[in-house]
């Protein structure tokens, strides 16, 4: 049984703390950027892709933060609005980040008279890399852990309690990161060359993985389970799944 007693601070220089979560964001963006330019970006948008990355970062951070505020802790932030800007205290929503990226991508594509899905498909292909690093950081931070269990691979998170728990963060890193990446690469190489199809598949498979992993991950304490014993993450994943199915169908039938 593994005992998790990691320090969430990766590097400390005088009073400056660099946390693993920040490094995960940076690594995900840099590696995703490199692979996108090296492999996935087509010649139509290649010269503009570096400028597009700025829009991606803005959409990811703003969308992730606003999504967390609205979806997961609205009551607290409506009474403490100044705390919305205290991003260093934690609190980001993956689904909110996706929405933010979609919005900024639409703005950038319209500005340059491009098909937005030429950008979003590339982001979808490399996003699992960032997800992988992010979930590993969640594991190091002892957050987003699962319920008590006796499975052989259970983990004791010392910063939480002394009980063995499902390492839900590692489940997500495996499925939403590595497996999702391989699935999207397979379909990209196999037969999908129509803009929008990869984006639709990303929404579909990510939502499936996230929905089922949430059964092995405790819900946010301030929310608990919402309806039908489902968490907020599962409910939003259902909406994203439906959106992915609709997008895939529309792009497949009407390229």
Q: What is the DSSP string of 125-166?
A: HHHHHHHHHHHHHHHHTT-S---B---TT-EEETTT-SSEE-
Domain count, the chain: 1
Report pLDDT digits (tens) over 54-100: 999 999 999 999 999 999 999 999 999 998 988 777 789 999 999 99
pLDDT of residue 255: 61
Report pLDDT digits (tens) over 146-174: 999 999 999 999 999 999 999 999 999 99
Tell me which DSSP letter residue 219 carries. P
- Residue 219 sits at the vertex; the CA angle it makes with 60 and 136, to the nearest 5 degrees, is 50
Tokens 């937005």 locate to 116
Mean pLDDT of 10-34: 90
The overall average pLDDT reported for the chain is 94
pLDDT of residue 253: 82
Tokens 């403490």 locate to 80
Backbone angles phi, psi at 90, to 5 degrees: 95, 170
The β-bridge partners of 164 are: 156
Decide: 195 and 251 in contact? Cβ < 8 Å: yes
Domain extent at residue 171: 2-253
To the nearest whole percent, how much of the chain has pLDDT over 70?
100
Backbone angles phi, psi at 173, to 5 degrees: -60, -40
Decide: 196 and 247 in contact? Cβ < 8 Å: yes
CA 40 to chain centre: 20
Structural tokens at position 104: 């900024």
CA atoms within 13 A of residue 38's CA, in its CB half-sphere: 7
pLDDT of residue 238: 97
pLDDT of residue 187: 94
DSSP SS3 for 86: coil
């Amino acid at each position: 049984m593994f005992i998790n007693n990691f320090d969430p601070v990766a590097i400390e220089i005088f009073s400056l703390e660099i946390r693993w979560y920040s490094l995960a964001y940076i690594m995900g963006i840099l590696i995703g950027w490199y692979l996108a330019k090296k492999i996935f970006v087509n010649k139509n948008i290649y010269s503009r892709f570096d400028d597009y990355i700025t829009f991606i970062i803005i959409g990811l951070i703003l969308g992730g933060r606003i999504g967390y505020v609205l979806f997961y802790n609205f009551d607290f932030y409506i009474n403490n609005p100044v705390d919305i800007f205290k991003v260093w205290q934690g609190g980001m929503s993956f689904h909110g980040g996706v929405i933010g990226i979609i919005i900024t991508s639409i703005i950038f594509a319209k500005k340059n008279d491009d098909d937005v899905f030429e950008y979003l498909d590339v982001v979808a292909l490399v996003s699992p890399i960032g997800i992988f690093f992010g979930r590993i950081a969640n594991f190091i931070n002892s957050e987003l852990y699962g319920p008590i269990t006796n499975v052989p691979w259970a983990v004791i998170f010392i910063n939480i309690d002394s009980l063995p728990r499902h390492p839900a963060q590692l489940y997500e890193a495996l499925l939403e990161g590595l497996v999702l990446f391989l699935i999207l690469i397979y379909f990209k190489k196999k037969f999908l060359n129509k803009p929008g199809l990869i984006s639709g598949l990303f929404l579909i498979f990510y939502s499936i993985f996230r929905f089922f992993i949430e059964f092995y991950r405790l819900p946010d304490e301030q929310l608990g389970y919402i309806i039908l014993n489902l968490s907020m993450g599962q409910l939003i994943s259902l909406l994203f799944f439906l959106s992915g199915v609709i997008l895939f169908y529309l792009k497949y039938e009407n390229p």
